[in-house]
Amino acid sequence: MGRLEGKVAVITGGAGGIGIAAAKRFVAEGAKVLLVDLDEQALVEASNEVGSNVSAYCVADVSKKADTDRYVEQAVSVFGGVDIYLANAGIEGAVTPFLEQTETMFDKVMAVNVKGVWLGVQSMFPAMQARGGGSIIITSSVAGIKGASLLAPYVTSKHAVVGLMRSAALAGAEHNIRVNTVHPSPVETRMMRSLEAGMMPDDLEAAHDMMSASIPLGRYADPTDIANMMLFLASDEGAFMTGGVYMADGGSSAR
């Protein structure tokens, strides 16, 4: 028996690097997964990579309530319910000096990274109550506990979901719904390629090396490194973990 045998997981940002890695780990432990993202072709490819016999997908904008309700309803309709919700969708915004950051970019980052999580958690509660409980895992960042002036909207959003998580954990406790955040350092994904280009557009390799050197373990995380933490929190091994901030940052927060 796998650690998630018979469980159903919904993963937003499901066509991204961490989303796919988490889906693979969850499926390997017996779960079925619904992948949620904006790009249908990317979702088709992700579902095929994860295993189309154990996954489905839904094209949705996580910042819209109607889309959020629809992907929850699809998970219940296709798989019979939801036990695990990985609120993983997120955008980085632009790498820009603090005083040049725009209201438009701030609103966009907050809509996806905070409102999207809030809508998802609210919509998931009734579905999880119907199953006797569940595990909600929110992807924050090492930026959720530190500052970065060039990424203030992103940093703000990743701090905000910690407060959301703690509030939801208190609300969910009586229903056996656990809520936690996972905080990666840089991960080998599309987002970091974008951030590297924003920091040093003329020398991406130097940007990668500089960021790697800032991490005590001396490297970016592989998406599976993050997925392993998420698997623990999703499984019954994490049954007493709720309201927690879990670092997966190669020692970055120790500095």
Catalytic residues, by residue number, are 154
With a CB cutoff of 8 Å and minimum separation 6, the contacts of 120 are 12, 62, 68, 72, 85, 87
Alpha carbon of 164 to those of 174, 175, 181: distances in Å? 17, 17, 10
HSE value, Cβ hemisphere, 13 Å, CA-based, for 165: 29
> Which residues are registered as beta bridge partners of 184?
248
Residue 219 dihedral angles phi and psi, to the nearest 5°: -155, 160
Residue 201 dihedral angles phi and psi, to the nearest 5°: -60, -25
Alpha carbon of 112 to those of 9, 16, 49, 92, 107: distances in Å? 20, 15, 25, 10, 9
Structure tokens at 151: 């990424």
